[in-house]
């Protein structure tokens, strides 16, 4: 326990709580921050980023490969803490996950589950065309027997469009799979099977509006 865990109570707002959100995806983390008395006795914002730790969902996504977390040398907000001790590095909230067998990971000895702080210039290069493949977790949806939708998870290689690691679901009582698509950040991509290069593939340049 910290030596002094008490916070200065705000006369107007009491313990002045704020709900934690994830820096990377903006979803609530379930943490509650008690800000107490703030400068000018202001009310705490409803949502705040309380730490640089990713939420469970993002942390699981990062574990899929080597997570490259974008950082800049300049803080976005005055007084923002650095992500690394004794260095001025500030995360932008963006990350990509790269297959550990990619050259950049092999060359540096980085393995799956590792998190690497990546300066923004390099990060930008990595996400531009020609960089190593990056993985993203997405939702795999199959539509059966006149509209019943069955969801599972999958991984999409955001460079090539290859879909892998499709979660299995029991569809014993279903007969006809009428449609299969992948949802990436809420956007729908039709799945193509047995293309020249891949068993499962989505054309990332061609999303359909839901
Ligand atoms: Zn998150």
Number of folded domains that form the chain? 3
Residue range(s) defining the domain that contains residue 14 = 1-53
- 124 & 160 share domain: no
pLDDT of residue 34: 93
Q: Please report whether residue 207 resides in a domain.
A: no
* 209 inside domain: no
Residue that finishes a domain, picked among 112, 132, 152: 132
Whether residue 43 is found in the same domain as residue 67: no
Looking at the structure, tell me whether residues 81 and 140 fall in a common domain: no
Residue 100 lies in a domain: yes
Distance 60 CA to ligand 1 centre (A): 9
Q: For residue 21, report the distance from its CA to the centre of ligand 1, in Å.
A: 8
- Tell me what pLDDT residue 118 has: 93
pLDDT, average across residues 174-191 = 92
CA 55 to ligand 1 center in whole angstroms = 4
Pairing of strands 163-164, 148-157: antiparallel
Residue 39 lies in a domain: yes
Residues 45 and 91 in one domain: no
Instruction: Tell me, yes or no, whether 148 and 126 share the same domain.
Output: no
Q: Is 119 helix (H, G, I), strand (E, B) or coil?
A: strand
Q: What is the whole-number distance in angstroms between the Cα of residue 11 and the centre of ligand 1?
A: 33
70 and 103 part of one domain: yes
What separation in Å is there between the alpha carbon of 40 and the centre of ligand 1?
31
Residue 27 Cα to ligand 1 midpoint, Å, equals 6
CA of 136 to the centre of ligand 1 (A): 13
Distance CA 34, CA 55 (A): 19
State the distance from the centre of ligand 1 to the C-alpha of 62, rounded, in angstroms.
10
Per the rule left: phi > 0, alpha: psi between -120 and 50, beta: everything else, 110 is beta
Residue 1 is predicted with a pLDDT of 46
Q: Label residue 94 exposed, middle or buried (CB < 10 Å: 0-12, 13-18, 19+).
A: middle
Tens of pLDDT along 67-78?
999 999 998 888
CA of 144 to the centre of ligand 1 (A): 31
CB atoms within 10 A of CB 150: 15
pLDDT at residue 192 in the model: 94
Q: E strands, 22-172, where?
A: 28-34, 47-48, 66-72, 90-98, 115-119, 134-144, 148-157, 163-164
Distance 154 CA to ligand 1 centre (A): 18
Ligand 1 centroid to residue 185 C-alpha, Å: 13
Tell me the pLDDT tens digit for each residue of 88-112: 999 999 999 988 888 889 999 999 9
Rounded CA gap, 93 and 42, in Å? 26
In a domain, 210, yes or no: no
Collapse the DSSP code of 125 into the 3-class scheme (helix H, G, I; strand E, B; otherwise coil) and give the result: helix
Distance in Å, CA 74 to ligand 1 centroid: 23
Instruction: Give 19 Cα–ligand 1 centroid separation in angstroms.
Output: 14
How much is the average pLDDT of 4-14? 84
Residues 130-176: tens digit of each pLDDT:
566 678 889 999 999 888 999 999 989 888 899 998 988 877 788 88
Using the predicted structure, report yes or no on whether residue 124 has a pLDDT greater than 80: yes
């Amino acid at each position: 326990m910290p030596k002094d865990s008490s916070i200065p109570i705000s006369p107007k707002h009491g313990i002045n709580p704020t709900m934690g959100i994830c820096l990377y995806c903006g979803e609530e983390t379930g943490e509650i921050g008690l800000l107490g008395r703030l400068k000018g006795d202001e009310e705490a914002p409803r949502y705040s980023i309380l730490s640089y730790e990713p939420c469970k969902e993002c942390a699981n996504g990062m574990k899929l490969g080597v997570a490259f977390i974008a950082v800049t040398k300049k803080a976005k907000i005055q007084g923002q803490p650095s992500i690394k001790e004794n260095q001025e590095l500030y995360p932008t909230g963006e990350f990509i996950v790269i297959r550990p067998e990619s050259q950049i990971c092999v060359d540096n000895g980085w393995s799956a589950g590792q998190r690497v702080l990546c300066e923004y210039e390099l990060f930008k290069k990595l996400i531009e065309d020609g960089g190593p493949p990056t993985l993203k977790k997405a939702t795999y949806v199959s539509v059966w027997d006149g509209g019943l939708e069955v969801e599972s998870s999958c991984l999409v290689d955001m460079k090539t469009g290859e879909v892998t690691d499709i979660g299995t679901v029991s569809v014993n009582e279903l007969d006809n799979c009428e449609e299969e698509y992948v949802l990436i950040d809420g956007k729908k991509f039709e799945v193509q099977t047995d293309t020249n290069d891949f068993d499962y593939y989505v054309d990332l340049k061609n999303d359909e509006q839901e």
